[in-house]
Amino acid sequence: MVRLSVNVNKIATLRNARGGDLHNVVQAARTCIEAGCHGITVHPRPDGRHIRVQDVLDLAAMLSVEFNIEGYPSPEFLDLVCRVRPTQCTLVPDAPNVLTSNAGWDLSGNVAWLGDVLRRLRDHGIRTSLFLDPDPEQVRHAKELGADRIELYTERYAKLFGTPERERVFDAYHRAALAAQEVGLGLNAGHDLNLENLPYFVQNLPGLLEVSIGHALICDALYMGLRQAVKAYLRALGVTLYQE
């Protein structure tokens, strides 16, 4: 079964647009959990434009499902993650001012420092994941650095899903997934996955363990409600819902 981790950044964005505590991030996470999701994801950024440090602490105190914290491994970010000790930390190569993640790590250069980061996280009992483009060589480098998992950056797949290029683009993800299996890495995926493109991806990518979805799910929730949106994505993953 592929697990669904709901990214609640957009809830925090909505709250921050007016200040105050409406909508409440913890309550939104609780609703997602009650609807059946398997995890909650946040991506705190240095400018605090959506998820803030207090949100991370509040979520860590109440979550009964897996907690995935994404972010660039700055000293401040790593101190927060090691303090909270989430289930998983997904490291992304985002510059501080980037609007949203737009590339995976390039692990072909001098990235020994990243191996040190991974060791620090593991020493705190945290499962590690590296955000990667679908490149088998990068997958092998991730294993050499000591990552537990990788998360495939799926923006290109999502962008070309409804075009004749879909099969060619998806083949890169398929090859990366096989490489992950060969070297013994767990496989996650995320970015721009939605109800239209998710079923094909899940049904055809070998070894997929988890998807992290935020933007599209919250957009769908504007029309169908948050609880029903979570259930719709669980159905798209092929999860059997025993209580509707």
Is residue 191 part of the annotated active site? The answer reads: yes
Cα dihedral 67, 23, 214, 143, rounded to 10, equals -30
d(CA 189, CA 150): 8
Q: Which long-range contacts (CB under 8 A, 24 or more apart) does 164-172 make?
A: 170/200, 170/201, 170/204, 172/134, 172/135
Q: Which residue in 23, 43, 50, 141 is the catalytic one?
A: 43
Tell me the residue length of the chain. 244
Q: What is the DSSP annotation of 165-186?
A: THHHHHHHHHHHHHHHHHHT-E
∠ at Cα 58 (92, 86), nearest 5°? Answer: 45
User: Under a CB-based contact definition with an 8 Å cutoff, are residues 69 and 9 in contact?
Assistant: no
Q: Which residue in 23, 38, 50, 70 is the catalytic one?
A: 70
Is residue 70 part of the annotated active site? The answer reads: yes
Angle between helix 136-145 and helix 112-123 axes, rounded to 10 deg: 60
Catalytic residues: 43, 70, 191
